Amino acid sequence: MNAYSILAPILRLVPEVPKPLRRLSLRERLFWTGVVLLTYMAMSQIPLYGIEWSAQGYERLLLFQVIMASRRGTLMELGIGPLVTAGIIWQLLVGSRIIELDLSTREGRRVFAGVQKLLAFAFAVFEALAYILGGVYGPLPPVSQALIFIQLMVASTIVILMDDMLEKGWGVGSAVSLFIAAGVAQQVFWELFSPIGPMADGLFVGVVPSLLHATFTYVSSGNSTPLIEVVARRSGYPDILGLASMVGFLLLLVYLESMRIEIPVTSMRYGGIRARVPLKFLYVSNLPVILVSALYANMYMVAQAVWSRFNPDNSNAWINVFAMFNATSGRPVPMKPSLIYYLSPPRSIWAVYSDPVHVAVYAAVFIALSILFALVWVAAAGMDPASQAEQLVKAELQVPGFRSSTRILEAMLRTYIWPLTVVSGAVVGTIAVVSDLLGTLGSGIGILLTVGILVQYQQILAREQLIEMHPVLSKLLSVE
């Protein structure tokens, strides 16, 4: 009896979207992708029933919102968090072979997809209970707690089914990538054009309205202070420096995404045809930043929950080592010398002068963890030299001048893969830290994720257009 036979009764209880009866055209798939996107955007605007919008319990966890495509206080409170968490953990377990699963068989792939979806539902239950019982919405009566739990579970089910729908061939790409890119795009648009204001500094939230107001003020009265503020002196609000850094990082990341180290190979199966195996310069892409950001965001949530319940007056010396907050402004703000303060991202370039120790500790820990997670991910996800060499040998590829031996290919790949892993982990970590210091619109992590997602979508669309023009390629590319 195989794993699928054992798990089949359980997996049949998990809701799923059936595959389309025929392969849909690119136009039809784009239509359904648009429907999914509009559904996500609508859900991110519908507030949860049973909580008060005026409650002072909402701390903007920007890192968490970006990587989980969530929106606080709405049906998309959990966002894609359950999907992302389940996917990372399950892939690490299978990739590191802690759980043996043959993904080359149809049954193995069905077990992998089914268990991942089951884990997503389990994490949705866990996260919904953590939000409610952890006091994120403040004290609530049991009826309100039950209503919020039901709303979060229904919304999470819809998100999981929308991801399943795209993966089954109804759309393009995945819901995870689509929602992250949409969330970052919404945030950038809001930070550019938001007319909310005037704020404490006399300007508006958006860069464009603030610049127009500051320019009009300077022309009419000669007061240059608002103009200086909107260029690079705003604290907690977007400015022109953030806009310029966003454009700069977009161009830099597009360039880095195109960099490759190409290893020449020959195919023994096809009579010695020469080809090249490309290794991306950003070998681990943005995975280290996602993992570090998720770790930081969850630590922040735990710290805030522990502080609000057991140390609201900062009188417990032991808890103060981990978390201290100042709530006089209405929202808890981390205080030094607690650990959570030094793990909170500095949001202004002026922090380098006002608190250089905070910047140095945050940057050093973030970059070090990015490198560490990069190494762990490569080893666990089958991207290490040994796994890559084994795949080349199975595909009957060999490097000219070397024998087709797994040990020899592994030794050669080791000189490229491990340095690329360390460098790419350090590069993406550094970009995330520097962009946060510059107040980059959409956040550095958001820009990192969005560029990678847009490059991925460009490749998918180019491939789909090529297949529609030349249907015979679908067989060569193993497209169903």
**pLDDT band for position 7 (50/70/90)?**
low
Mean residue pLDDT across the chain: 80
DSSP code, position 21: S
What does the pLDDT average to over 172-198?
84
What does the pLDDT read at residue 80?
84
* pLDDT tens per residue across span 333-366: 788 888 888 888 887 777 888 888 888 999 999 9
Select from 228, 235, 238 the least CA-distant residue to 191.
238
- Give CA angle at 69 (352, 75), nearest 5°: 125
pLDDT in tens, 301-321: 778 778 877 878 888 888 888
Residue 101 has pLDDT above 50, yes or no: yes
Structural domains of the chain, ranges and CATH numbers in brackets: 1-16+25-192 (1.10.3370.10), 200-236 (no CATH), 243-450 (1.10.3370.10)
pLDDT tens per residue across span 107-122: 777 778 888 888 889 8
Q: What is the pLDDT of residue 59?
A: 43
Please write the tens of the pLDDT for every residue from 403-432. 667 787 888 888 888 999 999 999 989 988
Question: 150: pLDDT confidence band, cut at 50, 70 and 90?
Answer: very high
Cα dihedral sign for 209, 440, 58, 85?
Answer: positive
pLDDT at 33 over 80: yes
Q: How far is CA 135 from CA 27, 62, 126, 392, in A?
A: 45, 19, 14, 52
> Quick one: average pLDDT of 261-280?
74
Q: Comparing 373 with 290, which gets the higher pLDDT?
A: 373
Residue 325 has pLDDT above 90, yes or no: no
Token pair 């929950």 is at which residue?
305
Helix or strand run (H / E) with residue 193: helix 175-193
Contacts for 404 with CB less than 8 Å, ≥ 6 apart: 268, 393, 396, 398
The pLDDT of residue 34:
92
Classify residue 2 by its DSSP letter: -
Q: How far apart (Å, rounded) are the C-alpha atoms in residues 434 and 278?
A: 29
Looking at residue 6, what is its pLDDT?
Answer: 66
Quick one: which of 166, 87, 81, 173 has its CA closest to 453? 173
Mean pLDDT, residues 201-227: 83
Question: Between 149 and 332, whose confidence is greater?
Answer: 149
At residue 56, does pLDDT exceed 50? Answer: no
At residue 189, does pLDDT exceed 70?
yes
Which region, left, alpha or beta, applies to residue 61 given φ > 0 means left and ψ of -120 to 50 means alpha?
beta
CB-CB contact of 255 with 392 (8 Å): no
**CA-to-CA dists, residue 257 to 254, 369, 373, 419, 450, angstroms:** 5, 21, 20, 17, 12
Mean pLDDT of the 220-239 span: 78
Report whether pLDDT(214) > 90. Answer: no
Confidence of residue 38 (pLDDT cuts 50, 70, 90): very high
Q: Which one-letter amino acid corresponds to residue 12?
A: R
Instruction: Write the DSSP string, 382-412.
Output: T-SHHHHHHHHHHTTEE-TTS-S-HHHHHHH
Residue 479 has pLDDT above 50, yes or no: no
- Angle made by CA atoms 39, 42, 47, in degrees to the nearest 5: 135
More confident residue, 362 or 325: 362
Cβ–Cβ under 8 Å, residues 346 and 355:
yes
Query: What's the pLDDT score for residue 57?
Result: 39
Report the pLDDT averaged over residues 140-154.
90
Q: What is the mean pLDDT of residues 70-85?
A: 84
Residue 63 has pLDDT above 70, yes or no: no
Output 69 or 279, whichever has higher pLDDT: 279
Confidence class for position 39, pLDDT limits 50, 70, 90: very high
The predicted structure's pLDDT at residue 58: 37
